[in-house]
Amino acid sequence: MPPIRRLVLDVMKPHEPSTVEFARKVAAAAGVDGVNALLLETDREVQNIRLVVEGDSIDVNEVEKRITNLGGTVHSIDEVIAGDEMVESRDVPQDWLPP
């Protein structure tokens, strides 16, 4: 099966652990080379973060398990790149809006 090379996840997490610790724990999952964690929103009880997870062969189940074990919830999987090469998103004609 082709490897997963990038996941972009919308995650809701408690304030603790910190975003730094959260990213480090997810980055320790099998096949993960790096994690970018961006705080999108915070309120009194939870934080909404975007996690960009990259690697040569990401173990998606382990990433999701680590998020859950840290008290987080995956709200959505917003991007997946699979295969031997990283394919970046490109604008296509139906995405174009006139000025």
| Domains annotated on the chain, with CATH | 4-85 (3.30.70.1340)
CA atoms in the 13 A half-sphere facing the CB of 97: 1
DSSP state of 27: H
Sign of the alpha-carbon dihedral angle for 68, 70, 71, 73: negative
Sign of the alpha-carbon dihedral angle for 85, 9, 72, 49: positive
86 to each of 6, 25, 77, 96, how far by Cα in Å?
A: 8, 24, 17, 23
Instruction: Report pLDDT digits (tens) over 22-46.
Output: 999 999 999 999 999 999 999 999 9
Q: What is the pLDDT confidence band of residue 14, given thresholds at 50, 70 and 90?
A: very high
How far apart are the C-alpha atoms of 95 and 71, rounded to whole Å?
A: 36
